[in-house]
């Protein structure tokens, strides 16, 4: 007997989670302003790695991102989430789960942090939180972090969060600088790391 197909849009799970210092939640209408402010502040640090940070976005572009992310969260095709400081309410950056394969329950975690908030452990805390969220709420079997071989700070976050280096894909991705980059693939898998 064939089982019913899994339909992600019908899968219910929370739209937020908390860590010791952070509130991480799904985007909402109106979030574009705080995202825009953080991108403007952090443009030089984000520019080498993030396609959305190649120029200063208009406020409307950031609001479109927030609304589009909200819709993708609801239809379960991409789970972008915003990171806020729990006590202060300050917007710190973004994390999320991308390249989702619901059949195998494999996810890729991504993240960025605004410049004035780096060096305080927030992004590692957020990555640990999104990892727990994927395991506990989404029944993840595999969670990956991929980054350019040249992005030492992103690789350091993956390592601090306990992800193991599965391998390096040599010269497999065109960087935003127009050059070929290696890609580091880190992962946590059910039965080994969780």
- At residue 187, the pLDDT reads 98
CA dihedral 93, 125, 158, 98 (to 10 degrees): -50
What does the alpha-carbon distance between residue 192 and residue 9 come to, in Å, rounded to a whole number?
Answer: 29
Provide the token pair at 61: 């572009």
The residues that bridge with 181 in the sheet, in sequence order, are 173
Burial 48-77 (b: 16+ CB within 10 A, else e): ebbeebeeebeeebbbebbbebbebbeebe
Nearest CA to 96 out of 66, 63, 57 is that of 66
pLDDT in tens, the chain (194 residues): 556 678 899 999 999 999 999 999 999 999 999 999 999 999 999 999 999 999 999 999 999 999 999 999 999 999 999 999 999 999 999 999 999 999 999 999 999 999 999 999 999 999 999 999 999 999 999 999 999 999 999 999 999 999 999 999 999 999 999 999 999 999 999 999 88
Give the three-state DSSP class for 193: coil
3-state secondary structure of 121: coil
Give the other-Cβ count within 10 Å of 36's Cβ: 20
**What's the confidence (pLDDT) of residue 7?**
87
**How many beta carbons lie within 10 A of that of residue 158, not counting itself?**
25
**Residue 167: per-residue pLDDT:** 97
| pLDDT for res 2 | 57
CA dihedral 88, 90, 95, 96 (to 10 degrees): 80
- The DSSP letter of residue 115 is G
| Residue 5: per-residue pLDDT | 72
């Amino acid at each position: 007997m064939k089982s019913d197909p899994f339909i992600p849009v019908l899968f219910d799970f929370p739209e937020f989670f908390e860590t010791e210092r952070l509130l991480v939640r799904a985007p909402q209408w109106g979030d574009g302003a705080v995202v825009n402010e953080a991108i403007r502040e952090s443009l030089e640090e984000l520019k080498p790695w993030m396609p959305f940070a190649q120029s200063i976005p208009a406020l409307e572009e950031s609001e479109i991102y927030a609304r589009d992310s909200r819709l993708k969260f609801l239809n379960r095709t991409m789970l972008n989430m915003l990171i806020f400081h729990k006590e202060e309410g300050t917007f710190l950056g973004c994390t999320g789960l991308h390249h989702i394969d619901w059949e195998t329950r494999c996810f890729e975690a991504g993240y960025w942090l605004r410049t004035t908030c780096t060096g305080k452990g927030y992004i590692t805390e957020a990555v640990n939180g999104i990892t727990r969220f994927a395991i506990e709420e989404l029944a993840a079997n595999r969670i990956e972090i991929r980054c350019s071989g040249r992005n030492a700070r992103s690789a350091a976050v993956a390592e601090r969060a306990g992800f193991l280096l599965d391998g390096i894909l040599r010269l497999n991705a065109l960087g935003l600088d127009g050059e070929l980059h290696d890609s580091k693939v880190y992962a946590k898998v059910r039965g080994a790391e969780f």
